[in-house]
Structure 1
Amino acid sequence: MNIIKRAFARESVAGYLEKDQQMERVLTTKDLIGLGVGTVIGSGIFILPGHEAASHAGPAVAVAFLVAALFSGICGMAFAEFSSAMPVAGSAYSYGSVIYGEIIGWILGWSLILEYFLAVSAIATGFSAYFNNLLGEMGWSLPHALQAGPGEGGVVNLMAVVVILISALILFAGVSQSKKIENAGVVLKVAIILLFIIGGAFFIKGHNYSDFYPKQFRTGLWGMGGLTTATASIIFSFLGFDTIAAHAAEVKNPNKTMSRGILGTVGISAVLYTLFAIVLTGIVNYKKLGVDDPAAFALQAVSQNQFSIVITIGALIGMFTAILALIFASSRLAYSFGRDGLLPRSLGKVTPRHRLPQNALVVAIVVEAFLAGLVPLSTLANLINIGTLMAFLFISFGVLFLRKRKDLAHDGFKMPLYPVLPAVAALLSLFLIIRLPMETLKLYGIWVIIGLVWYFAYGIRHSSLNKK
């Protein structure tokens, strides 16, 4: 068989469903929303509204959050349709393998594995910074050697490694146990955010909204330059709801549950982010919010110092639930690669006791802990974004092909305004990819080349499709 023709061979949904029977279907809509909100509402809500208000949009940053949520919701609909039609593990990797062919699925999965691994490590590094700051407020501190890796003048970022290992212990207890802790953490985090929104509303000063969209930000076409720049940055705070699709093989009644979990996550996150931004910019003038802890700063500005510590604790909980959910997703993606033979098949094994892909989970934890503890991730941050945007592009466009496949007919969620909405989502994703820095595009190109070399040297020869 011609090697190019073989690379574009397509996997069947029936084949995936058969392989995924070893996974336990225990997740409900509530659990998926817990995982989704746990990922999306991470450290971003405590940092981004202030930075973007001060640098690009002023109080109009709340509008930027609404626009970002709209884009995320449209892409979320595409993922919801795919996950309803194909309730299998692997997210965009599995969907791409069925719709476009194995090599495209591999590239999408290879892109997502980069996003998940780097995101866990980056958030763990942020957790460490917040935790060390909290220790400092209490009069304690770790030696600098244990606060940063070698690239930043230290030895190892100890707390970044520790939080990943704690998450690992929870995940090894099984899906039923880990989902309880994730859900509880999300409830606590949302409660703290609501406390800020409700309590902070009493300290809003109307004059802080008088210059709602400041003149200095009205650049570019129709004066929307500042707002579009803020929106582009904020969109990345919503990236993570796609991780829900990675758990489709462990979901009860996926035809309905997947769409509710994805769209519920986007809706809840949109409301919380927008209200948070409105209250924040109402308490303090936007010009003062360009700090790493704008919510705590705003509360201190109105002499509510006791609540600033509560906000810091909320940020720590938010990052912890995000780490837990992303390790969960990254291990399921690694399992999918092993399941299909594109990575060593040992990754695709599931332990009988807890029905867990234990080997995949171990690999994910080791790599993520190594990156978090020893490697500075600042230059790689945008790679987190491009991996997801590539998945958005192919999955949104893939809805056009999904509807035409008679063998994939489904009675679950369907994206409205077909075919216009899927095309719009794909074009918006492409636009955002183009807007990324050239350095990011080059680094991503190198990552894709590495993935293609692995695929043609190992994956294509060991793939399950060779047995058909």
Structure 2
Amino acid sequence: MPDTPRNRMKAIGKLGERQVSIWRRKPMGAMMPESGEALARTLSWPHLVALGIGAIVGTGILTLIGVGADRAGPAVLVSFAIAGAICACAALCYAEMASAIPASGSAYTYSYAVLGEVIAWIVGWSLILEYSLVVSTVAVGWSGYAVGALRWFGLDLPPALANGPALGGVINLPAIVIIALVAGLLMLGTRESARVNTALVVLKLATLALFVAVALPAFDPANLHPFTPYGYGSVAGAGGVKFGVMGAAAIIFFAFYGFDAISTAAEETKRPDRDLAIGIVGSMLACTLIYLVVAAAAVGAVPFARFSNSAEPLALILRELGRGGVATIVGLAAAIALPTVLLAFLYGQSRIFLVMARDGFLPHGLARVSKRGTPVRITLVTAILVAVIAGLVPLDVIASLANAGTLCAFVAVAACVLVSRRRDPEMRRPFRTPAAWLIAPLAIGGCLYLFTSLQVVTQVAFFAWNAIGLAVYFLYARNRARV
């Protein structure tokens, strides 16, 4: 067999297939796709920043500011800052790994290359939990907005088509429709999806700017007292809910993640060495600033107890200020822009599934891409999976369970930075995490602390999900892996 790069890659692959250790690592040279599986490079850093903001700014700030205020009071501002700081540390670690390994798959891919197969499987399995829950819950949440909007136009959707079986209906049709539309856009092309996403992100930011412009002039310092009614720690309350600044930070964390979806776009980025770091870090910094401004305007305009239990806290605050018309505009604009979250997370989930299919953990035929360079097959399969969940299962916004999967991925990526720095100090790193031996441990420690601040039932559910995942790995996936 001639000594060509492709034949050497095949030899590496055969060697990997003979290794059966659960700690085997995927060679760096095998990260890039084979012919017929490569994705089209159509994205630049503005697209990536918009993708990150579209994923991060969504149901989190629109709903969780009320949940956070209920648990921390006005000190929810500190909770936002803590969650943002932990995510910023994780984002810097993601930026280093994404620029060093510019392949799809995000934390799953980095773990496979650095930490070993079984860790990569656990991370990938946890990401399936995160992305599936986020996409499904956002779709169901959007369905509620859509049903209300239809009523404004004199159209009343029958309850049988607006709710799943457990809620007395037959199927949640709007949730399925929005997933189908977003999936269709993704299958049309990545560039086209990015353009639509950018336009909706601008609308979303304009909506939040409108809220701040109306609420901030009503800022009253008296609304900030007492600032920490439940303390700074994480204190257990009724029903297993944890109060205090850290208890709120653990749930508000849901409002920050989404930048990890940018790392799944590595293969479709024109200049991954530069653009991935700009997209990840830039979107994270922008969203942290946006959240702090919006949170300050909210808790300063109205006493936190008046909006803490609301499903639409920003609109309620505007109505409390006598601006019902603006509240309607904010609610409608939020409903229109909310699909950016679906687009970003459905995009990320399909790319993670794509890489797992390449690695043999899913049927390899799903890794094929269309002539336009988009993974049509895996996007379709992903959309069907999520649509079934959203259409038939009654999902509350159980942010904490999705958080558990994300925390697992963040810990793994930070660990990848430390292990690769020690094992491969000469490894090419176009972006280097500043003060890595401080930032990465802070990301790991912060994520582990946030995990302990989650409800016990969430922690149990997370470990149960991964116990099932390990059973699937040892009974099915391990012997099918194509290293």
Common fold, TM-score beyond 0.5? yes
Q: Could you tell me which of 400, 405, 422 is aligned with 2:418?
A: 400
Instruction: Work out whether 1:335 is the aligned partner of 2:349.
Output: no
Does the aligned pair in 1 maintain the 2:104–2:265 contact within 8 Å?
Answer: yes
Structure 1 gap segments, 5+ residues each = none
CA contact (8 A) 1:93 1:108 kept: yes
1:218 aligns with 2:219: no
Deviations 1:292-331 (A, max 9, x none): 1111112112221111111112321342100011111111
For residue 322 of structure 2, give the secondary structure of its aligned residue in structure 1: coil
Aligned equivalents of 2:351, 2:17: Cα separation in 1: 31
Aligned match for 2:65, one of 31, 40, 49: 49
Q: In the alignment, is the contact (CA less than 8 A) between 1:90 and 1:332 conserved in 2? A: yes
Of the three residues 88, 108, 113, the one matched with 1:93 is 108
Query: Residue type of the partner of 1:49?
Result: I
3-state SS of paired residue (2:260)? helix
User: Which amino acid in structure 2 is aligned with residue 267 of structure 1?
Assistant: L
Q: Which amino acid aligns with 1:384?
A: A
Displacement after TM superposition at 1:139 (Å): 5.2
Deviation at 1:199, TM superposition (A): 2.9
Who is 2:184 aligned against?
Answer: 169
Secondary structure (helix, strand or coil) at the match of 1:404 reads: helix
How do residues 177-188 of structure 1 correspond to structure 2 at under 5 angstroms? Answer: 177-188=192-203
Residue 124 of structure 1: aligned partner: 139
- Structure 1 CA distance, aligned partners of 2:62 and 2:109? 34
Structure 2 partner of 1:242: 260
SS in structure 2 at match of 1:23:
coil
SS at match of 2:156: coil
Residues 199-348 of structure 1: matches in 2 within 5 Å? 199-209=214-224, 211=225, 213-214=227-228, 216-218=229-231, 220=233, 226-290=244-308, 291-348=310-367
Is the 8 Å Cα contact of residues 233 and 247 (structure 2) preserved in structure 1?
A: no
Shift of 1:368: 0.5
The equivalences for 1:16-95 within 5 A come to 16-19=31-34, 22-53=38-69, 55-95=70-110
Q: 1:126-170 deviations in whole A, cap 9, x for unaligned?
A: 111122233445554322112210111211111111110111121
**Corresponding position: 1:110 with 2:132:** no
Q: Which residue of 2 aligns with 1:361?
A: 379
Equivalent position amino acid for 1:464 in 2: R
Partner of 2:7: none
For residue 426 of structure 1, what is the amino acid of its counterpart?
I
User: 1:41 touches 1:318 (CA, 8 Å); kept in 2?
Assistant: no
Pair 254,235 (structure 1): closer, same or farther in 2 beyond 3 Å: same
Deviation string, structure 1 residues 197-236 (Cα, Å, up to 9, x no partner):
1232233334333x1505x3236589x9622222221112
Distance in structure 2 (CA, Å) of the matches to 1:4 and 1:14 = 17
Per-residue CA deviations over 1:54-75 (Å, capped at 9, x if unaligned) read x123333222212211111001
Looking at structure 2, the residues matched to 234 and 179 of structure 1 have their Cα atoms a distance apart, in angstroms, of 27
| Aligned with residue 409 of structure 2, among 388, 391, 404 | 391
For the 8 Å contact 1:43–1:318, the answer to whether it is kept is: no
Higher helix share goes to which structure? 1
Equivalent residues of 1:50, 1:280 under 8 A apart = no
The number of aligned residues is: 460
CA distance in 1, matches of 2:22, 2:425: 21
Q: Structure 2: how far apart are the matches of 1:282 and 1:308?
A: 17
Letter aligned with residue 406 of structure 2:
T
The whole-number CA distance in structure 2 between the counterparts of 1:241 and 1:221 is 26
Q: Is the alpha carbon distance of 1:4 and 1:439 closer, same or farther for their aligned partners in structure 2, counting shifts above 3 Å? A: farther
* Contact 2:247–2:453 under 8 Å retained in 1: no
**Residues 324-369 of structure 1, C-alpha deviations (whole Å, 9 max, x = no match):** 1111111101100111111110121111x21111111011000011
User: Residue type of the partner of 2:458?
Assistant: T
Structure 2 unmatched runs, 5+? 1-15, 236-241
* Contact 1:149-1:376 within 8 A present in 2 as well: yes
Deviations 1:102-131 (A, max 9, x none): 221111111101211121001001111122
Identity, % of aligned positions: 33
Q: How far apart, in 1, do the equivalents of 2:399 and 2:71 lie?
A: 20
Amino acid in structure 2 at the alignment position of 1:52? G
After superposition, the C-alpha distances for 1:167-196 in whole angstroms (9 at most, x for unaligned) are 112111111111100111111111111121
Rate the CA distance shift 1:221–1:349 in 2: closer, same or farther, 3 A.
closer
Residues 1:221 and 1:442: Cα distance change in structure 2 (over 3 Å): closer
Partners of 2:290 and 2:154 in 1: CA distance: 33
Q: CA deviation at 1:238?
A: 0.8
Is the alpha carbon distance of 1:149 and 1:26 closer, same or farther for their aligned partners in structure 2, counting shifts above 3 Å? same
SS at match of 1:217: coil
Distance 2:222 2:42 in 1: 50
Q: Tell me, yes or no, if the aligned pair for 1:127 and 1:319 is still in contact at 8 Å.
A: yes
- Kindly indicate whether the alpha-carbon contact (under 8 Å) linking 2:254 and 2:399 is maintained by their aligned counterparts in 1: no
What is the CA deviation profile of residues 228-254 of structure 1, one whole-angstrom value per residue up to 9, with x for unaligned ones?
222221112112111111111111211
Counterparts in 2 of 1:2 and 1:321: CA distance versus 1, 3 Å: closer
- The 8 Å contact of residues 341 and 459 in structure 1, kept in 2 or not, is answered as yes
